[in-house]
Amino acid sequence: MSIYELKKMLIKLLSSNKEIKFSINALVRGLSGVKHKVDLYISHPCSLAVMIPCGDLKVELIKAVVMGIDIRVPVVLLINEEELMNYEKDFRDILEEVPVRIVLYRKPSEEYSRLYQEIIKECKS
C-alpha cells in the first residue's frame, strides 16, 4: 500500500465518522501569515493537522516542526518506522521539545485502522 492509498483509507474512515469535520490538502495560515499545506486538517471536534511524509524525511520533519510552532495547532506526523530509524539520532532531541506527535507504522495496509484510532485519540486529548 502506498502513502496515497493510506491517505485514501484514512479519508474514507474519517468520512464515515459524522462527528468529525475535516479538509483534505488544506492550507492553514500560521501566526507568521504563511499558509502551510497539510494532508488532513481536522477542524471539529478539535483542531489537528495530519501530515503523511512522502519526500525526504528530514525535510518533512523540519516542515512539521516549523508548522507546529507557527500554526499553534497540534501536528500528527504519520511515519514509516523504518524511515525514522535512519534519522532518529538526528531528531530525537528536537522531537521531544516541539508540538509534533509522531505515529509510527510498519505496514500501512495492515495498520490504517490503528492509525485512524490514533488520530481520533489525539483529537480527543
Give the tens place of pLDDT for each residue, 35-58: 999 999 999 888 999 998 887 888
The mean pLDDT of 72-98, rounded to a whole number, is 79
By the 8 A CB rule, do 119 and 112 touch?
no
Query: What is the DSSP pairing of strand 100-105 with strand 75-80?
Result: parallel
Determine the 3-state secondary structure of 101 from DSSP. strand
Query: Can you give the residue range of the structural domain that contains 43?
Result: 3-124
Q: What is the pTM of this model?
A: 0.85
Provide the CATH number for the domain around residue 65.
3.40.1350.10
What per-residue confidence (pLDDT) applies to 83?
81
The tally of domains found in the chain comes to: 1
